[in-house]
Structure 1
Amino acid sequence: MTNSNEYYDLTIIGGGPVGMFAATYSRMHMAKTQIIESLDDLGGQVTALFPAKTLYDIPAFYKISGKKLIKNLNEQTVAFKPDIFLKETVQAFTKTDKGFEIQTNKRTTYSKAIIIAAGIGSFEPRRLRVSSAKQFEGKLLHYFISDPTIFKDKNIAIAGGGDSAIDWALELAPLAKSVTVTHRRDKFRALESSLDALHQMKNVSFLTPYTIKDLQKAPNDQIELTLQKAHDKERKKVAFDNLIVNYGFSSSNNIIESWGLNMERHTIKVSEKQETSIPGVYAIGDVAYKEGRPALIASGMGEAPTAVNNALLYVYPDRRQPAHSTELMLKYKQ
């Protein structure tokens, strides 16, 4: 690991799929590289929002789950050994005579160039608006799921009606003793094919249209939900081992917008080289704006080598940057 006052060649801000691949490709060049990620794990939106979702627009895969994609990318990234810093947020960076001083919520670090791969920016779960919810968060009430195995043989409730809630129900049903999906409407926003698949599972049931009005501690370390039926005075109480709330997420690029970069539609304007308005700072993935750019993981993956090659050319203008993996790996193995 690099000393705190030593410069990295490249710092990747954001550890989602695009940032992970950028770090991998950077390390193929033998560049001293770090990833700074604000979440607990690598994977970004895919890990936090739709790990069970089947993706069909990833090159070389007819279909692949979000969880499997991140597992594959993680194996590749770790094999090339960039420095990885999790639960750390970049707050600001300033120009120095050698590159940039980067201030995070935990430390000061230095880099010769920066690649921003922050996706939609920071995002927070829309929390359950119940006064008693706070005491259960991180214990019996979950907004993120990092380890699905903790729900093995449990009776769990999942609140929400979108793709994320249904994807998690599909993911957890084979592990759990039972899964109950509760939603404030009879109709769901999730894909019909996902709902059909969920209805076929024998240990899955639905409670609609109900809204969670209160939470209480129940016997046997369970959590008791007080449910209010929509447009009705009817209330019922049901106890579960765990409650997972998937009401969606709110995102913000407020920190990124404070960095002095030229922005367009809350994203960073970039050139054909993926360079921002600050020389030495590049942006890729959904955080980067180019007219006509589709918001796909595949788009960001294609932008990563462009940004890395141009960033390293900026850092080392007299050094030829090989582009093909065969040539890169010959140097890497040496």
Structure 2
Amino acid sequence: MTAGTEVSVDLLVVGAGPTGLYAAYYAGFRGMSVAVADALPEVGGQIAALYPEKLVYDVAGFPAVRGQDLVDRLAEQAGRWNPVYLLGHGVTDLDDTGAGVVATTDAGARISAGAVLVCGGIGNFIPRELPVGSEYLGRGLRYFVPRLDELAGQDVVVVGGGDSALDWALSLEPVAASVTLVHRRTRFRAHERTVEQVGNSSVRVLTPYEVEKISGNGADGNGGAVSEVVVASSDGDRITLPAQSVVAALGFIADLGPIERWGLDLRRRRILVDRTMRTSRERVFAAGDIADYDGRVGLISIGFGEAALAVNHVAALLDPARSLTPGHSSDA
């Protein structure tokens, strides 16, 4: 879709990640026309952009599924209803028309919709930077690993103590020459099962240690690509590790971007919704990681349920004669 594009649909889904793709399928199932807008140039959201090769274990029906494979299945499912995709289109403004909403994108498109379902992640994610070694970014230092084979045969140092850090360490173990996990605390913030898996793996775990210095293979010791990492403990112990790659999995800082200007009630940089997934703004709903309510659990599977819930209420909003209860898909 190019600048000047005008689209008219029943429902605009903002965000083409897993929740947004499932929302597009489910809205089609409920008989609605759908457009899906996303600032990224391809569907899949953060999964496709940041960790397409990581295995996901908590999606119903899949004992384990590669991130990109999950995205491909969801896109295939949504494709049954031929949604209009506006990729490379970040939604910047939402204007009420009385009978619907008009969305404007940063690529110059206008989408008229009866309702909007915001399914983005938590806005734009800015990685928390490692305090040292920034000059090696792109030359061995990275904040995520879209393709595991890029690090095949390398000595890799993973820094962090959350789920992402431990997941990267486990995912890289079969392909890297060696993997060392460095965390500044003795306790991890990751899932207990993941911590246990790392403990039973060949990953070397150094806690409590922090990265003190990153050195390169340039003639002056500071240029070139990463060649070694010095880590230090709180009591002054230092270890020099050979490394061709450093994965700094220190988490991300959320930047909501234009969403902050949409007049929605926010909490903890997420959009507050009620039990029907309605926001504080008429005809605007939210589902997935961007949504917040008391007791919410941040799982992909939860996002799928929220998308279905929102779509059913949108269906009844757009056509009061339409039943809120969709019936069984096997009877369709």
Shorter chain as denominator, the TM-score bin is: 0.7 to 0.9
| Partner in structure 2 of residue 279 of structure 1 | 282
Give the AA of the match of 2:83.
P
> Which residue is 2:204 aligned to?
205
Partner residue, 1:181: 181
Deviation of the 1:215 alpha carbon:
3.1
Task: State the number of aligned residues.
Answer: 323
Asked whether the equivalents of residues 140 and 246 of structure 2 are also in contact (C-alpha less than 8 Å), the reply is yes
- Report how far residue 191 of structure 1 moved: 3.9
Shift of 1:146: 1.8
Matched to 1:249, the amino acid is F
Partner of residue 301 from structure 2, selected from 298, 302, 317: 298
Larger displacement relative to structure 2 (33-42 or 44-53): 44-53
Give, in angstroms, the shift of residue 115 of structure 1: 0.4
Q: Does 1:150 align with 2:153?
A: no
In 1, are the aligned partners of 2:136 and 2:225 still within 8 Å (CA)?
no
Contact 1:217–1:223 (CA under 8 A) maintained in structure 2: yes
1:226 deviates by 4.1
Once the 2 structures are TM-superposed, how far is the Cα of residue 286 of structure 1 from its aligned partner?
Answer: 3.9
CA contact (8 A) 1:50 1:167 kept: no
Q: Secondary structure at the match of 1:145?
A: coil
Task: Quote the Cα distance in structure 2 between the aligned partners of 1:190 and 1:271.
Answer: 29
Q: Deviations over 1:75-106 (max 9, x none)?
A: 43355543444555333211247633323333
Q: Within 2, Cα distance between the matches of 1:82 and 1:36?
A: 10
In 1, are the aligned partners of 2:51 and 2:146 still within 8 Å (CA)?
Answer: no
In structure 1, give the amino acid aligned to 2:96.
Answer: K
- Partners of 1:237 and 1:273 in 2: how far apart? 54
Return the offset for 1:108.
Answer: 3.1
TM-score when scaled to structure 1? 0.78
Query: How many Å separate the matches in 2 of 1:236 and 1:136?
Result: 20
Query: Structure 1 residues 219, 196: CA separation in 2 closer, same or farther (over 3 Å shift)?
Result: farther
- 1:158 to partner: Cα distance: 1.0
Tell me, in whole angstroms, the C-alpha distance in 2 between the residues paired with 1:310 and 1:153: 51
Could you list the runs of 5+ residues in structure 1 that have no partner in the other structure? 329-334
Q: Is the contact made by 2:127 and 2:251 (CA closer than 8 Å) also made in structure 1? A: yes
CA deviation string 1:111-147 (max 9, x = no partner) = 31210123434332211122x41x4334422212222
- Give how far 1:66 is off: 6.6
How far 1:22 moved relative to its partner? 0.2
Partner of 2:107: 106
Worse overlay, 283-292 or 240-249: 283-292
Instruction: Work out whether residues 121 and 287 of structure 1, in 8 Å CA contact, stay in contact via their aligned partners in 2.
Output: yes
Partner of 1:331: none
Is the 8 Å Cα contact of residues 160 and 246 (structure 1) preserved in structure 2? Answer: yes
Distance 1:280 1:296, change over 3 A: same
Give the 3-state SS of the residue equivalent to 1:6 in structure 2: strand
Give the 3-state SS of the residue equivalent to 2:176 in structure 1. coil
Within 5 A, what are the aligned runs for 1:229-268?
Answer: 229-233=232-236, 235-253=238-256, 255-263=258-266, 266-268=269-271
Are residue 28 (structure 1) and residue 29 (structure 2) matched?
yes
Q: Is 2:325 aligned against 1:325? A: no
Cα root mean square deviation, aligned = 3.6
- 1:222–1:240 Cα contact (<8 Å) kept: no
**Match of 1:106, as an amino acid?**
A
Q: 1:144 to 1:84 in 2, by over 3 A?
A: farther
- Percent identity among equivalent residues? 32
Aligned residue in 2 for 1:172:
172
Query: Unpaired segments of 5 or more residues in structure 2?
Result: none
Are 2:308 and 1:309 aligned? no
Offset at 1:315? Answer: 4.2
Q: Deviations over 1:15-74 (max 9, x none)?
A: 332222101112334544232334566445656479746544x4445x435736445434
Rounded to whole Å, the distance in 1 between the matches of 2:42 and 2:136 is: 22
Shift of 1:243: 1.5
Using a 3 Å threshold, how does the CA distance of structure 1 residues 137 and 10 change in structure 2: closer, same or farther?
farther
AA paired with 1:174? P
Residues 60 and 236 of structure 1, relative CA distance in 2, 3 Å threshold: closer
Which moves more between the two structures, 152-161 or 64-73? 64-73
Q: How far 1:166 sits from its partner (Å)?
A: 0.9
1:264–1:212 CA distance, 2 compared to 1 (3 A): closer
Q: Secondary structure at the match of 2:6?
A: coil
Q: Separation in 2 of the partners of 1:73 and 1:239?
A: 41
